[in-house]
Chains A and B, each alone.
Chain A
């Protein structure tokens, strides 16, 4: 099936540790996005990538890093510099200008202990 796979679905981390969230897609979309969701705040853009080997900071990039070595993959690393990393993280791909639609994965919930 075509879609976006995020893993792990749940992740627990101790303070001071880096963690990496995986996002894989087989929709053949060029652009990929990472959003952070907190209760009552909607979705906020962390990073996005419009093409392989290129990525741009979003509105809340501090404390996060990404890579885009393959079209299918866009992993997000939550570093120890992120002050409040407990959140729900959503990966999405863009269907292009003809649809304008973002397609979302099922999300990963990160909890810092």
Chain B
């Protein structure tokens, strides 16, 4: 069965430090890959996505992610974290052949930023 794993439930980093959030997926083929961010009590906002082509994708708010087929991973990175980045982050995958928007989401990683 398809699945998405975010191994880190909670991460704390200092403001200005670098960040990497991990995402691993289990799929029969290369899926669509997404990272979303959610502030408390709010909906989800798309940070970036991978469809095809360059495996390093750039997103909003200075985030980037790299698709590594051999590791079935799509880790999210940011070189310097800002206090406003504190939120919950979700990795999601979609099946290319389904022609639907059915995404499978990871459990989420809560990011706390220390001043």
Contacts and interface: CB of A to CB of B under 8 A. Distances in A.
B94 A42 contact: no
B102 A106 contact: no
Contact of B100 (A4, A48, A107): A48
Nearest to A90: B43
Interface stretch (A12-20, A64-72, A95-103): A95-103
A41 B107 contact: yes
Interface of A: 4, 6, 31, 33, 35, 40-45, 48, 50, 58, 88, 90, 92-95, 97, 100-102, 104-107, 109
Given A31-B100, A109-B41, 17 more contacts: A4-B43, A31-B101, A40-B108, A42-B90, A42-B105, A42-B106, A43-B44, A43-B90, A58-B102, A92-B101, A100-B94, A101-B46, A101-B49, A102-B46, A102-B92, A105-B43, A107-B42
21 contacts: A4-B43, A40-B9, A40-B107, A40-B108, A41-B107, A43-B90, A44-B105, A48-B100, A48-B101, A48-B102, A94-B100, A100-B49, A100-B51, A100-B101, A101-B34, A101-B49, A102-B34, A102-B92, A104-B36, A107-B41, A107-B42
